[in-house]
Amino acid sequence: MAARIASTSQRLRLHRSLAAVKYRTFSADAAARIRRRNAEFENDDGQLQRVAFPANNYDFLVEPSEYHPPLEEEHDNNSQVLSQAVSSPEPSYVKANYNYNVYQSSQPFQCEITDNPGQGILPQLEVAYETWGELNEAKDNAILLHTGLSASSHAASHEANPEPGWWQRFIGPGRALDTNRFFVVCSNNLAGCYGTTGPSHTNPDTQERYATQFPLVTVGDMVKAQFQLLDHLGIDKLHASVGSSLGGMQSLLAAAEYPERVGSCISISAGHKAHPTAIALRYMQRRIIMSDPHWSNGSYYDGKFPVVGMKHAREVATISYRSGPEWEQRFGRQRIEGARHSFMPEFLIETYLDHQGTTACLRYDPNSLLYISKAMDMFDMTEGFVTPLDSLSRIQCPTLVIGVQSDLLFPVSQQRDLVQLLKSGGNPRVTYFELDALYGHDTFLIDVHTVGAAVKGHLEHIPWV
């Protein structure tokens, strides 16, 4: 019998509800195919023996590899233990990404790295995207919102999908990205798993999933795909390019590569190249995933999903996303009530990491994490230029840079260097905010008051001449 992560009828009903959401996403023919596929995994009582994964993808079902205790049981137990800790804000993660738009191009997409499967050529390209606000008649009020590593296009709720998005409190009437004034576009990254072409998609030439035959992609490839989407939408010039983390990298590159099409640039908790500490942390996440035997060289889509690898990779990522000062305040050395000295979790901070891994491990495609994290590691805007100044001097539009003092992945030294290069390159309209915030790299997802106010001020009030 297939391994199951749910042990009660209530949890099986949850699995059914996830499948039901899938039908809202696709055409009638696609929904029928999903029903047939689900039927293959139902027992005599009509209960699903596999779970829809990722819930935001609605494309394939996987059988989670064995994990003890069952993931949902561990999730419930960890939640109970963590109720002892001081509360602290957590980012909003999308649980059901549906009713997004898809831009489809039948033209081959050439990736930057040609020493790649298929010489780096994707036979066709699909880009999942969502929008908020209205594009004005002049089509000059558009904001391109770039996402972080694992985010979907669902940055905020809208009529077709009322679920809160990952930047929910930043987007809307009167908010940082004011939809009374701006038309906001957000897409899922190339190589992602939430609708845009990625490793879990079927290669039209072979009719098999790409898996690790998907070509390595760069941040430049992601930006190129986004600008193809803008062409499709008829947007020649952006009011602004906005992004955080990987999105902040993309925002900078967009302003440098498409200077005539980007009116303003906002880069939050990012840099013009990957920091070695961040490279090391992401490398370890990839190694952990690849060491799970169920990863199967990336060909797990018809087999068992590498639960353990994804869980532990997410735990390492969590360490890089938050900060020591926050955890000192939030957890300290507080022990789990009744815990004995052992190699099992004894401190609340250990349970918190377990909880983060358990909660997130079935939410994202491991291969997408491999590809997109590698793209981040390879990112260096100065590569191929005689000096860093030659590269950064291409950005002459009004630019806002935000750094966070407690950020481990993108230390503030990177933002300071970036600002100095931009100013030395002749850009007189560079603004820098350095935040003394507790939440580390996750600050851009949490601190709507400080980050949001800075973004709103730049978009609406900075002189453009």
Of 115-129, 262-276, 449-463, least confident by mean pLDDT is 449-463
Instruction: Say what the pLDDT of residue 283 is.
Output: 98
Residue 99 pLDDT grade (very low, low, confident, very high; cuts 50, 70, 90): confident
Q: Which of 245, 320, 391, 406 is catalytic?
A: 245
Render pLDDT for 214-247 as a digit per residue (tens, 0 to 9). Answer: 999 999 999 999 999 999 999 999 999 999 999 9
Say whether pLDDT at 293 is over 60.
yes
Cα→Cα distances 408→160, 294, 320, 321, 325, Å: 37, 31, 6, 7, 12
pLDDT above 90 covers what percent of the chain?
70
Which position has the higher pLDDT, 70 or 305? 305
The residue-averaged pLDDT of 107-121 equals 95
HSE-CB at 58 with a 13 A cutoff on CA atoms is: 26
SS3 state at 335: strand
- As a whole number, the mean pLDDT across the chain is 85
Q: For this structure, is 140 an active site residue?
A: no
Q: How confident is the model at residue 25 (pLDDT cuts 50, 70, 90)?
A: very low
Reply yes or no on whether 407 is catalytic.
yes
> Tell me, what's the pLDDT at 12?
29
In 3D, which of 127, 109, 189, 125 has the Cα closest to residue 374?
189
The one catalytic residue among 407, 442, 447, 458: 407
Active-site residue among 251, 441, 442, 458?
441
Distance, CA of 348 to CA of 278 (rounded, Å): 25
Model confidence at 358, pLDDT cuts 50, 70, 90, reads confident
pLDDT number for residue 303: 86
11: pLDDT strictly greater than 80: no
Contact by Cβ (8 Å): 58, 188: no
Q: What average pLDDT does range 263-289 have in this prediction?
A: 97
Q: Mean pLDDT, to the nearest integer, of 291-308? A: 92
